[in-house]
């Protein structure tokens, strides 16, 4: 990652790769990051919802509102 890079560059690097997203409500979403914007609204494909590391359901495409997100990391 180059000097003076911006946070959204890190999201761009993660595009089309699998990420884990931690939400403020304690749940996690895993999936392929296909879209994001400056509000950190996110679209995942092939998404799974987890709680305490346990798979709760498979969801396909999900749109996640940015203000519910704590962190995003490569899965």
Contacts with its own copies by CB under 8 A lie at: 1, 3-11, 14-16, 23-25, 29, 34-37, 40-43, 45, 47, 59-74
SS3 labels along 12-63: HHCCCCEEEEEECCCEEEEEEEEEECCCCCEEEEEEEEEECCEEEEEEEEEE
Least separation in angstroms between residue 68's CB and its own copies is: 5
3-class DSSP state for residue 16? coil
Least separation in angstroms between residue 57's CB and its own copies is: 9
Closer to its own copies at the Cβ: 10 or 55?
10
Closer to its own copies at the Cβ: 55 or 73?
73
């Amino acid at each position: 990652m180059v000097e003076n890079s911006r946070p959204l560059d890190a999201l761009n690097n993660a595009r089309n790769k699998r990420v884990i997203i931690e939400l403020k409500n304690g749940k996690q979403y895993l999936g392929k990051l296909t879209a994001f914007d400056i509000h950190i609204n996110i679209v995942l494909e092939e998404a799974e919802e987890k709680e305490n590391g346990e798979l709760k359901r498979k969801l396909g495409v999900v749109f996640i509102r940015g203000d519910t997100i704590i962190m995003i990391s490569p899965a």
